[in-house]
Amino acid sequence: MAKIIIFSGAGISAESGISTFRDSDGLWENNKIEDICMAGCLDWNYQETIDFYDNRREDIEKKEANYAHKELKKFVEKYPHDVKLITQNIDNMFEKAGCKDVLHLHGFLPEILCESCEFKDNIGYEKLQEAYNACPECHNKLRPNVVFFGEAAPKYEELYSELNDCEVFVVIGTSGNVINTDMFLSRAIKLSILNNLEPSDAINDELYSKVLYKKATEAIDEIIVDIESFLEGN
């Protein structure tokens, strides 16, 4: 299990030009969660929901990984057994930077899933209904591989098992409204760093060893230096 967890949210991809959710002009200011990201949306609002994620899939095709994703990729390569990248993001910016083993807690936009059987596929940037009419295995409806509010998030189990041995916990670009990172700061964690653009009501920054309110691309070098000096002293 990883000694160092880098836990990210929408803020890390903001400088790639991907909208966050709760900042001003964010996705949830311009779209209604209950229409396109709530358990049951696929039953009563299938087409609008599919279109929303098709558009987001199309959007990420043109976006590029930024300096923070790229530096984290190098960092993981340097300490492959010690670092785990865990993200709430469904975009593929870490993958575009070359990262291989990212834990996507809320799903992965290039993937689609069958609502009934185990069928799953990576359709890249295609529209779901252009890639498939229906599930090729069982002919039922397909959906984006995205966890909606009110649905189970199967990857959370992996998050908890990674946290078991964690000593360094770094939070980058999340408001903490969906996953409250404060609750992960157990006594076993010896270094905790919080990096957001600005304070969030959902996060108690006094609990963290270090707080950086600045863009992720401006904070990432300092974050890596801090982790490396921690590793040298241990």
Q: Would you please indicate which residues are annotated as catalytic (active-site) residues?
A: 106
- Dihedral sign, CA of 193, 176, 179, 103? negative
**Cα→Cα distances 218→143, 166, 170, 222, 227, Å:** 36, 25, 15, 8, 16
CB of 32 or CB of 139, closer to ligand APR: 32
70: DSSP letter:
H
CB of 218 to ligand APR, least distance (A): 8
Binding residues (CB under 6 A) for ligand APR: these are 9-11, 14-15, 20-23, 26, 88, 106, 173-175, 177-178, 195-198, 200, 215-216
CB of 138 to ligand APR, least distance (A): 27
Angle between helices 216-232 and 67-78 (to 10 degrees): 20
Burial class for 201, CB neighbours closer than 10 Å (0-12, 13-18, 19+): exposed
- Dihedral sign, CA of 179, 182, 187, 190? positive
DSSP 3-state of 147: coil
CB of 137 to ligand APR, least distance (A): 27
